[in-house]
Structures are given as C-alpha cells and as structure tokens.
Structure 1
Amino acid sequence: MISEEVRMEPPLLQMKSVHKRFGRTHALKGVDFEIHAGEAHALLGENGSGKSTLMKIAYGEVTASSGQVLLRGEPVKFANPLQASRAGIAMVAQEVPVVESLTVAENIALGNLPGSRFRIDWTTAHRTATEALGELGSGIRADRIVGSLGPGDRQVVAIARAVASKASVVIFDEPTSSLTAELTESLFDIIRKMKSFGLAIAFISQRLQDIEPVADRVTVLRDGALVRTMDLAEADEGTITRLMVGRPLTDYFHREIAKTRSTSDKPALSVGHLSSPGVIEDVGFDVGPGEVVGLAGLVGCGRVEVVRSIFGADAGVGEVTVAGKPYTRRTPRRSIQRDLAFVTGDRKGEGLVPAASVFHNLSLIANNRLNLLPINRRNQRTAASSAMQELQVRPADMSLPAGSLSGGNQQKVVIGRWLSSAPQVLLMDEPTRGVDVGAKSEIYRLVRELASQGVAVLISSSENSELLGVCDRVMVMFRGRIVADRPSDQLDELTIAELAAGVIDV
C-alpha cells in the first residue's frame, strides 16, 4: 500500500479515458491508470484484456484512438518508443529484447550511445553499464557476450538498460512468465530496489502469485475495460480471480469431470529404459487410458527431455509402446500418425508460425498428416472455428496473424490445433505458461474432458500446484531419474520440492 504522503503527490504517469480500436475490435474502453514515484502498480487481467496494449500506448509503441497520457503532469504523445525512452519511460518486454552477438555493455547502451555523431565513447558506455548493473546488485561483467547468458541474466541486462537510461517509469510486461522460482525472486528483489530509488513501476501480470511480493496497488482490466483499482490489502486471490474472469472459479482444476473406466488392460503409453546421455537415465513408466500423469522436477532434471524424446522432438534411446504396439524410429511426423499430440513448451520457437493466420496455425496438424485425399477446407474451417470457441480464443477472428494475439491466446491456438486430431496420447510441456487464471482453468477442463474420453495425458510442468490439482498421479525427477511416483493426493508441494532437490530420499 502506498503511503498517504505519496498518494497526495501528483502521479508520475497518468492515463485518462484511453480508448484503442483495431478495426472492429475495441481493445481499450476508456481506461484510467496511474503510477506514483516509488510505487509498483500491478496491472492484471485475462489474456486479451488490454493490459499490454495500454502500456504500449504509454511507451509509444501503439497510438491511442482517444484519451490522454500525462507524464509529470504534462500531456505527452509519443510517436515511437525512442521518444518515450528519451522522456524517461522504459519497458522490459516479456520476450527480452537483446542482441545476442553484442556485449552486455553494448546492449545496455543501445538507443542511448554516449559520444559524438562521429565517435562512440565505449569507455563511458562500459562504465555506465557497470554502474547500472551494480545498482541492481548484479555481478554480470559488462564485456560478456549476451548470447552466453541465461534467461535471468538477460532480463537483468534489459533492466540495467532502463536504469542506465535514467528512466523514471519502468514497465514490466509479464516478466516472470519464463523464469524459474529462484530467478523470479531475484527479479522481485530488483523491483523492490528500483522502488527504493523512487522509480514508478508498472507490473503487467496474470499470475496472482506475482502480486504480493512487489505491488502496492492493483488494477484489473476485463474485456478492455477498467473493472477496479484497489490497494494490495484488498486484493485477495478470490477477489482478483472474480474480477478478472467475471465469475468465481468454483472448481479451478475440474476434478469433478469423471474419468473413463477403460476396458483395456494395456497402457495407452508405456516407456521403458528411456535414456539420453547426460540428460535422462533409465526412465520407465506407464500411463493408462484416461489417466492424467504429471512430471515434476527442477530445471535441467530431464522432465522436458522425457516428453520431447517420446514424441521424437529430441533424440533418446529406449522402448516406447503406444496402445500396445512398439514405436521405434520416433519423429514428430510419425508421432502424429501414431495419434500422439505434443504441446511444446517453446511457443515462440516451435509452437506457432507468427506471421501466418490463426486458421493456418490451427490447421497445421491436419495439413501435415500423411493423407492421399484432398484437404477439405470447409471441414478444416469448421474444426478450427470449433477449437476457437472451445478455448475462447480472443479476438475470435481466424484471419488475424497468430503473432498479433496475446501470449495466452497464442497458447490456446497451440493447444487448439490438436483438438480435431483425436489423439490417444497427449504430451504437454508447460501447457499454461503465460496464460491467465481463467484460461488456465479452461485448459484444465479440456485436459480432464480429454481424459474422460480415454486419452492418456502426460504433463511436464514447473508449477507443482498445477500438477497436484489436475493430475491423478505425479512422478518426480531428480538428475535424470524418476525418484518418486505417487497418487497426487499422497503428495504436497513441499514434498515435491524436497524430492526434486534431492533433499529427501524415497
């Protein structure tokens, strides 16, 4: 909660009655938003609610259809992000914008190179970068090549760029969506430090667990409209969820959906002695028809590689049997023919063709099946439209480029393409990454409904609460091996964490 003294001061950034239209889509409907110096103001809402669009208007990346933006009490209108940056507004995007071939210092100096028109002062650039990194408590060397850094350090570089530019307003757009719990806590430490410097922080998120550590106030948007602004003390999980989705989520994980009783005594998926040098070692398990099984473990434990190896996306040796039939020489194309579906955890790199339409992306699996018959476009369009309605993809326009959708709606498209493929086995890696609370519940409902129809589901996730909530059984991995395999009602988050860290033995 911000103090009364701070509350009485004029906002550093203020947005009044902001509207934005994209053709027929009314993305923002008269939204008000403000941030004070030394405050972190969280902006929450479902995918497509208008959060990112509002902040892109503040940053000059998008032009408002109407409304007003004030910086330090003065009306401003930025034609591009460079103008906003020079006025003191910085944005740390969800996909960290760095040039991998350049050094840390060169990345931090981008857009604000010291020196004259004819010569860049690299000594000053390195000193400024080192000072900015030091202010954030980071030990990253300014001469490191950014391509050699992990995701957390790359994000620190992007934040240091904002600090070095002397920004007074910093916008974080979904900053924790691809970070581990440890890196997320480090980010929160940095944000608290920036608040102590007197910076105004806008924090876009759809993860309720991101609010309490850093936010002073919370604003919720729904369908492009302002629902409510409140102090953090008022923002309990139930209230936020109801405001975001417009209804209480009475059964978030949809465990009430009955599981099909299979008459088959054969596992839908059987894995034996699966190995990949230095990654996974002698992994074996079964998943029955209609069963939802989770794979838990820390980053690098091998759970992602297990799922990818089964589908043939990564190399691996071992035995895989689908519906009682051995499956050798695994490749993604052959897996599709064997009725395996795979929702990748790398939405940007593997899940989508961003420039292609939503319809094309939803139709990729049908187009890639080995079928001598002509493609029936009418059936494809019907199936794509059904998938969009099932997952409530917004905007509901299949002609839009998939890359123009919000991150969560892009994830819905990635999942939706498998709905018409009638898989026997569904493999999922981080299925709800970057997805809001309402859309998560819809995805969980879809998983439980597919399971009720006899589909075997294997989910790799870094969210232990997700695995416990939606899965019938959870397997925990540590250093490439499965160290525990138990019904989900016999586990809790602490036990999973301790097993995944090797703290306790089975």
Structure 2
Amino acid sequence: MEAMYLLEMRQIDKQFPGVHALDHVNFRVRAGEIHALMGENGAGKSTLMKILTGLYRKDTGEIILDGQQVSFNSPLEAQRAGISTIYQEINLIPYLSIAENIHLGREPMNRTGIDWKQVNQRAERILREMGVEADVTQPLCSYGTAVQQMVAIARAISVQAKLIVMDEPTSSLDEKEVEILFRQMRKLREKGIAIIFISHRLDEVFEICDTVTILKDGKLVSESPAAELSKLELVSRMIGRDATDVLRRKNGVYQGTGGVPVLEAHGITDKEKLRGVSLRIRQGEIVGLAGLLGAGRTELAKVIFGDNPDYTGTLAVNGQEVRWKAPRDAIAKGFAYCSEDRKAEGIFSHMSVRENMTMAILPRIARRGLVNVGRQKDIVDRYIKSLSIKTPGQEQLIRNLSGGNQQKVLLARWLCMEPRLIILDEPTRGIDIGAKAEIEALIQDIAGQGISVLLISSELEELVRNCHRVIVIRDGKNIGELESDMLSEGNIMRTIAQDILQEGGACI
C-alpha cells in the first residue's frame, strides 16, 4: 500500500507578466522522506517553494498538508503549520546572539519575562547535538558563514517542523560540516520529518536523497527514486538534452612550453591564515587550489590580487619580483579577480549589465573624463554574444539576471581588460548545472587563449574536471601538489587526511 503523502501540491499554476512560471505542476512529499527538487535556474523551483511557504499566491491549484487543504498568506502562517525554511542566503539577525537567533519569536518565558538561562541551555544542547562548537551568548556576526549556516539549520530543527525546506544549505559548508548536516537530516528522517532539498551539487543529491523531482521551464519533467537515476540521466532531464558533453573532463594535460611562470608566490605568510604558501602558474595553465573551509584559499587569492598588502614572502610576475600596495597595482599588471561572494564583492546590483561589465575598463575608453559610449556598447554587445549572456538588453539591471549570467558578466568585465591571469574563487557556487557547464567551458576557452587561471572551488569534482594541476593547502600551508595524471577526488582527500593524521601523530 502506497505511503500517505505529507504534502501534495496539485496542478499549481503561476503566471507573472510575460512569464508562465509554473504550468500546472504536481509535487508530493512523503513523511520521513528527503526529497530533492531539481532544475536549472528559472525552472520554477523557487516559485513553487514561495507558493508553499506563503510568499507568493498561486493562480490555480491546491495544496494539501497532512491531509488538510491549506493556503498560507505569509511565511509565519506556514511556520505555524509546521513548515520551516532554510535559505541559501542566511536570513538571521547578525547582532543578536546565537541563542537569540535560534529562539527568535519563540522564547521560553518565566515570571519576570524571557527565561534567558533556558534560552542559552536549549541553544547549547541543539548545537552540541549537531557537533557545532560555539559560544551561544556571542553575537552571530562574530562567527563565519559556515557557523551562521549551521545556526540557521539549528533554528529550523528547534521549530519541530513537519516539513523543512533546505535551499542550498551546504553552499557555505566544508566537507566535515556537510557530514554533520547530513547526519542531522538522517535523524530528522528517522523521526518522520520530511525534507525538501534543493542543491546544485549532484553528489549530495545522490548521497542523501530518497526521491528526485525535476522541473524544467515551469513544468514537471519527472519524479523518480534517486536510486533509479544516474548522474547523466538526472542532468539530461534537467537541461532537456544529452548531458554527455556537460559532464566531460578537460581535454588532455597542460601543453604549455614551461618557461618563466606568469606568477610565482613563495612563502606567503600573513597575520591570520597563511603560513608560508607557495605556488606557480604558467601561461595558459589552470591551477586549482583545494582545501577545507578555512584553509586559506581566499586569503591567498587576496594577497595575489593586492587586496592584502600586509604579508611576508615574495610574489614574482614573469620572473620579476613585485609588491602590490592595492588591487589597482595587480590590475595594471594584468591580474583579475572574481570573488566568491559575487553579490557583496562583485556585482553592483542597482546598475545595468552595461555598467557592470565595463566598470574596470572605463579609463581605457574615456577621453578627458568622457566615456566613449559607442565603443562601450560595442564591447558589451560583443561579450553578451560571445559568452551567451541571457539578458533582455544591455540596460537590464544585473540583479535581475540569474546567478550564472551574473557570473558571466563578471567574467566579461575582466576579459575585456585582456588579463594575463584571472583568479576565480568559487565561480560556479549557487548556479545550476547548465550554467555551470557553460562557465566551465568558458574557463577552458580562457586558458586556450593563453590566459592563466587560478581556480578555487569547494567542489573537488570541479577541480578534477577542469584543472591541469591542483595545489592542496591546509591551515595556511602547502600539503601536496597533484599533477594531471594523479588528479582525482580521492587523491585530494587522501592528501588532506594524511596531513591531519600526521599532525595528530606528532601531538601524541
């Protein structure tokens, strides 16, 4: 006998001006099930979840939760009915304590008001069970993104929800923290709690999910047990074509001539993370930088780009030692940097595609303080076409583009500067599989043009698929280097594990 569904969304239809966002979609989730909701950006996943949680009103259709027809007017109503949501972008109050964030709006009371002792004790217990070490009395903003994400998860768990929606919950977590999250998810499943899991990381979907529902262009494509799908089948259904090329590996090994490296960094040390990191990158080479969260990858990138002049060690460009005082010095030497946080450090959200793309090149296309608008528009048109940027036009606000197309605009910003080296920090984070494939193809094309690439990614498969060589760092120091013929996810993880074991052995 088929199990009772905790949630059924039947024939959900939603239209916006000019867009049929959801076309009579059916979606159902059993109690005690981890259910993946998959699809490219624009497939309708977010719209469907916003209708479920009361942010949007459906045009037609019905929602059945725990056997009762419901229609929520706000997320608060949905939460009271037992639906909790964890967003990719942390939606907490940074200057309140961790304990206050976990209990916000649901604080236990005593005769004099809020029972702060109980608030803190409950928060400590929840985080301890999750394997998170943090002082719950400290402001949330005093901890990094990973801890903040775990606090958001702790809040959702503490609500005692029937159904938890997790939208890219692992995007800011390292391998160990993902394991902790998955352990909690399995515990919730055992308690009969349903989880809707939205992720662009395919390996995670196959590791943790029971069922996969796929949407494309606002329509239901399929619902299948995860065990009956291969990665190739899943991606093919998401993008609507054979995904063999999407999942391809790079072609061959690095074929450069060697010679003087475009960049050499030796013994880079700063006051916080870095403890003598060294690397070299040759012309047209894609070098990956691997390591757990907090290893010092981004910190090294910022030193190389001149964003942290307070370091010891040496940088050399084409064999000549340099010392940047600011990013403008690195840019003048042909260096470019796409930050991991494109919203905070990359895009200018209230500006157009044209303005964002040409921000760095303005001095080159201006004369006596006046921008040559005709030349500017020609440059933008060329890169919109060559990078296949999906936008209604140059004047479209960049914040209205998908994550993948925002990333393409940032790449175009630097490519029009004709750089010799480009640093890409998590370039595919938070974008769908189709856009990810396009970004990876662009990275290969960039290297093919003789531009060197330093690629930082938390997804080991992405490094293996794209890099000619990978440097592994831990706690701010080099622990290994893998050439193309030795590159594999297993070898990267073994390098990290061996260093951890050696450090543990040295302490005994």
* TM > 0.5: yes
* Letter of the 1:455 counterpart: I
Following the alignment from structure 2 to structure 1, what is the Cα–Cα distance between the partners of residues 113 and 397? 41
1:147-173 deviation per Cα after TM superposition (whole angstroms, max 9, x unaligned): 334444333322332233332121000
2:505 paired residue number: none
> CA offset at residue 460 of structure 1?
2.2
Following the alignment from structure 1 to structure 2, what is the Cα–Cα distance between the partners of residues 391 and 66? 38
1:221-275 deviation per Cα after TM superposition (whole angstroms, max 9, x unaligned): 222222111111212111111111222333435623997756x944322334433
* Letter of the 1:496 counterpart: I
Change (3 A) 1:449 1:407: closer
* Letter of the 1:343 counterpart: C
Change (3 A) 1:183 1:290: same
Change (3 A) 1:124 1:476: closer
> CA offset at residue 130 of structure 1?
5.5
Change (3 A) 1:130 1:389: same
1:90-131 deviation per Cα after TM superposition (whole angstroms, max 9, x unaligned): 100111222222123321222334559x95554664566466
1:204 paired residue number: 198
> CA offset at residue 415 of structure 1?
2.8
Question: Which deviates more from structure 2 when the two are superposed, residues 299-308 or residues 200-209?
Answer: 299-308
> CA offset at residue 197 of structure 1?
1.9
1:75 paired residue number: 69
In the alignment, which of 284, 295, 317 is matched to residue 322 of structure 1? 317
Change (3 A) 1:266 1:175: same
2:349 paired residue number: 354
2:418 paired residue number: 422
2:131 and 2:180 in contact (8 A); partners too: no
SS at match of 1:75: strand
> CA offset at residue 189 of structure 1?
0.9
Question: Which deviates more from structure 2 when the two are superposed, residues 189-198 or residues 379-388?
Answer: 379-388
2:365 and 2:372 in contact (8 A); partners too: no
SS at match of 2:453: strand
> CA offset at residue 389 of structure 1?
4.6
Following the alignment from structure 2 to structure 1, what is the Cα–Cα distance between the partners of residues 129 and 396? 42
Change (3 A) 1:289 1:130: closer
Following the alignment from structure 1 to structure 2, what is the Cα–Cα distance between the partners of residues 89 and 305? 38
In the alignment, which of 13, 16, 19 is matched to residue 13 of structure 2? 19
In the alignment, which of 442, 447, 459 is matched to residue 443 of structure 2? 447
Map 1:248-327 → 2, pairs under 5 A: 248-251=242-245, 252-253=247-248, 255-256=250-251, 265-315=259-309, 316-323=311-318, 325-327=320-322
SS at match of 2:438: helix
Change (3 A) 1:360 1:268: same
2:334 paired residue number: 339
Following the alignment from structure 1 to structure 2, what is the Cα–Cα distance between the partners of residues 382 and 27? 33
SS at match of 1:469: helix
1:88 paired residue number: 82
Asked if residue 227 in structure 1 is aligned to residue 221 in structure 2, the reply is: yes
Q: 1 or 2 for the larger relative contact order (CA 8 Å, sep ≥6)?
A: 1
1:271 and 1:286 in contact (8 A); partners too: yes
Give the alignment's Cα RMSD to 1 decimal.
3.2
Following the alignment from structure 1 to structure 2, what is the Cα–Cα distance between the partners of residues 159 and 24? 36
1:45 and 1:205 in contact (8 A); partners too: no
Which consecutive residues of structure 1, in runs of 5 or more, have no partner in the other structure?
none
SS at match of 1:422: coil
1:32-64 deviation per Cα after TM superposition (whole angstroms, max 9, x unaligned): 211121111100112232222221221122333
> CA offset at residue 187 of structure 1?
0.6
> CA offset at residue 175 of structure 1?
0.6
In the alignment, which of 184, 191, 215 is matched to residue 178 of structure 2? 184
Following the alignment from structure 1 to structure 2, what is the Cα–Cα distance between the partners of residues 465 and 379? 40
> CA offset at residue 388 of structure 1?
4.2
Change (3 A) 1:403 1:212: same
In the alignment, which of 157, 160, 164 is matched to residue 166 of structure 1? 160
Change (3 A) 1:135 1:334: closer
2:254 and 2:468 in contact (8 A); partners too: no
Q: TM-score, normalised by structure 1?
A: 0.87
Following the alignment from structure 1 to structure 2, what is the Cα–Cα distance between the partners of residues 421 and 229? 46
2:365 and 2:375 in contact (8 A); partners too: no
Change (3 A) 1:399 1:221: farther
Aligned length: 498
Between the aligned residues of both structures, percent identity stands at 38
* Letter of the 1:352 counterpart: I
Q: TM-score, normalised by structure 2?
A: 0.87
* Letter of the 1:427 counterpart: I
Asked if residue 64 in structure 1 is aligned to residue 58 in structure 2, the reply is: yes
Change (3 A) 1:423 1:142: closer
